[in-house]
Amino acid sequence: MERALTRLGEREPGLQAFAHVDAEGARAAARALDAQASAGAPVGPLAGMPIGVKDVIDTADQPTALGSPLFEGRRPARDAACVALLRAAGGVVLGKTVTAELAAFHPGPTRNPHDAARTPGGSSSGSAAAVAAGIVPAALGTQTGGSIIRPAAYCGVIGFKPTFGLIPRAGVLAFADSLDTVGVLGARLDLVARVTAVLADRDDLVPEAWSSPPAPLRLGVVRTPEWDAVQPAARATLERVAGAAAANGARVTDLDPGPALAAATQAQRTVQLAEGALALADERRRHPERLSATLRELLDEGAAIPPAQRDAAHATAREAARELRAATEGIDVVLTPAVDGEAPQGLDSTGDPLLQRRWTLVGVPVVSLPAGRGPSGLPLAVALVGRRGEDAALLSAAAQLQRLLEGEG
C-alpha cells in the first residue's frame, strides 16, 4: 500500500487519474489486514491489493460523483455489490478513478500515461491510466460501448469486459440497461482473472482452474466491416499477431462476421442512445444546463429515436448473437482489432468506440491484449472475443496466445 501511495504521489499530479483518494483509509485497511494475517485469521484472495474503482460505482466511504457536476459531493449509503465483494476478499479501495461524464463521451481531466497530450480513452479513463502508471495493479471499469477495451488498449494494459451480467451491477450507474457491463483493467491477465473471479463469485475463472483449449489454439480472425477505418499500424499489428500465432502452432482462419454482425455497430449506438435518454430523462429535463453540450446532444438524439427503431436494433442484437455463435463453431476465440490505432492527440475526446460496439451489443466477453507500439511509440492492442458465458475459456485462450507470442507455446 505504501508503494502504491508513493507511486500515486509521483504520477497523479500530471496524470489526474483519480477523482478522490482516501490515503489514510487505505492505510488503515491495509494495517487491519496485516493484523488479521498476523493473528492467523483469513484475509481473502485479494488481501491488501490496492484497487481503483471507477467513479460511477458506489462506495459508502468515498464520494461517487459520476463525473458530473450534477452529483458533486454525492455520498452513497452503501457500497455497490462489486465493491462489497472486493472488500470481503481483502481488496482495498485506494480511491475513485475518473470517468467521463455519466460514463458517456464527455472526457474528464485524465491524461494518457504514455503521452500527456493524448487521451487515455474512456469512459474508464482513470482506471486504465492508474493501472498503466503503476499506481494500482487493478481497477474496476464499466463498458456500455467500448469503455473498458478502448482505454485499456490506449494505455497498454489488460482490459476484460466479461459476459453481460456476469458481475452484479447493483449500485452502479445505469446508462443503458441492456448494455452496461462491469469489468476489470489490470497490469497482468492473471490478476484480472483473480479479481473477476471474486466479483462474479466464480472459482472457475482463476488461472489454476482454467482448462487448456484443444491443441492447437484455434483463432478466427475478424477484420470487421470497418477495416478501412483501421490505421495501418493497427492493421499490421493484427496481421503480425495472427502470423506469429500461426508460426507457433495455432490454427488461424478468417471469419466473415455476417450481415447482422455487420449491422450491430449501428444497432448498438441506437440502443445506447435510446436507453441513455430514458435513464437520464429527469436530468435532461430538470438540469440541462449542468450537462455538457456533448451529452445533451446525444441524449436529444436518443430521445428522438422511435420505439420501432429501438425494437429493430434489439432484433439485430439477437440475430447477431446467433450469427456469432454459428460462425465460431470449432473456434476457440475471435482475434480482431481492439481499437483503430494509437490513442489520438488531444483531450477533448475519448476516442472512437467504433470497433468495440458490436461485441458489447451481443454481450460476449472480450479481452484487450497489449501487442506492441505504434509509429508514435504509444501502445497498440488486439482484442480476443469469446462465446457468451464462456469467460474462463476466453481467459485461458488469451493466456495461451500470450505464451505463443512469447515463443513459449
Which residues are marked as active site? 54, 123, 147
Helix 391-405 × helix 232-247 angle, to 10°: 90
Q: Are 306 and 328 in contact (CB under 8 A)?
A: no
Interatomic CA distance for residues 183 and 14, integer angstroms: 26
- 52 beta partners: 95, 139
Strands of the sheet containing 50-54, edge to edge, are 18-21, 92-97, 50-54, 138-143, 181-186, 158-161, 366-373, 379-385, 333-337, 218-221, 251-254
